[in-house]
Amino acid sequence: MPTREQVWASADHVQTTGERVTQKRVLDHLRAAEIGCTERTIDAHLIAWKATRSYNPRLAVLDLPGPLSTRLAGFMEGLWDAAMAEANARLEERRAYLEREREAAGQLLNETQIRAEETARENEALRARQVVKDTTTAALRAEVVALRKEVAHLRRSEFWDHVIREIAEILPEKDWMSIEEIVRRLPPSLAKEALVLDKALTPGRVNRQMFLRDHHSRFFEKKKKEALYRKRPGWTSITSPTGKRRNASASAEATAGVDNA
């Protein structure tokens, strides 16, 4: 690899020959002196040499007659002016092109910003609609749950009303019947339906429902302090029985009977 001094010495030599100091000529001179080098190994030193020497190669002007020297100077001045005019025109054209390119880029940026703002507004509207949708869905689900509970309650109420009517049909008017016997005589279909809708038809549950659904003794009578029942005299499946309703003391006795059952 050549040193800085070797590259500078070769460049000085080439300059003294009157030839332009080029990379190739400096390489040829170094290699002629058997100094190994490449373009990359001399570039930095050659650039430093040209900067230090303020090297600016120009055509060598030989001694010419006055008229020729004047014409040459005028030609060179005109050539320089033409070159500068061409350079300025190209520079202006390049500047105009860059200005148009900048304006186009600004337009694209504005369009992108507008699209981004529109997208943001659309996303915000979608989020708002989603919130409304979620709220509506939650309300509908709650309503469905409430309706299901209400339907289940109505079905259970209807079922127990059916059970009470069945009990009123099987109860005798004169003899007392135990709650266990009542449950045994109920149709098997009611026992299956009870398991589907609510719970099993146990004597305790039937006794409680009889009290809750006929606490005015419209359908049947209950024996004091015992879970024994009989049909109220005069009751039919169409008309209600005649007679006074159970008084407050009878209700208290029925409540005690339910608790004992």
pLDDT over 80 (residue 62): no
Q: Can you tell me whether residue 227 is helix, strand or coil?
A: coil
pLDDT over 50 (residue 260): no
Higher pLDDT, 151 or 247: 151
146, amino acid identity: A
pLDDT band at 237 (very low <50, low <70, confident <90, very high): low
Please give the model's pTM, rounded to 2 decimal places.
0.41
Higher pLDDT, 120 or 232: 120
Q: What angle (nearest 5°) sits at the alpha carbon of residue 125, between those of residues 121 and 130?
A: 145
Higher pLDDT, 214 or 203: 203
pLDDT of the residue at 256: 36
Give Cα 240 distance to the centre of its chain.
Answer: 65
The mean predicted confidence, pLDDT, of the chain is: 82
pLDDT of the residue at 236: 63
Across 110-122, b (16+ Cβ under 10 Å) vs e yields eeeeeeeeeeeee
CA–CA separation, 65 and 80 (whole Å): 22
Task: Sheet with 177-178: list strands edge to edge.
Answer: 177-178, 228-231, 220-222
Give whole-number Cα distances, 105 to 99, 102, 209, in Å: 10, 5, 84
- In the predicted model, what is the mean pLDDT of residues 72-94? 87
Lowest-confidence segment of 23-27, 61-65, 79-83, 176-180 by average pLDDT: 61-65
pLDDT over 50 (residue 261): no
- In the predicted model, what is the mean pLDDT of residues 157-176? 88
pLDDT of the residue at 231: 85
Lowest-confidence segment of 10-19, 49-58, 122-131 by average pLDDT: 49-58
Compute the half-sphere exposure of residue 162: CA atoms within 13 Å on the CB side of its CA: 15
Q: Quick one: the chain helix, strand, coil %, rounded to 5?
A: 70, 5, 25
pLDDT of the residue at 58: 61
pLDDT of the residue at 91: 92
pLDDT band at 89 (very low <50, low <70, confident <90, very high): very high
Phi, psi of 230 (to 5 degrees): -150, 160
Here the tokens at position 170 are: 């099987």
Domain boundaries defined on the chain: 4-53, 150-260
- In the predicted model, what is the mean pLDDT of residues 83-108? 90
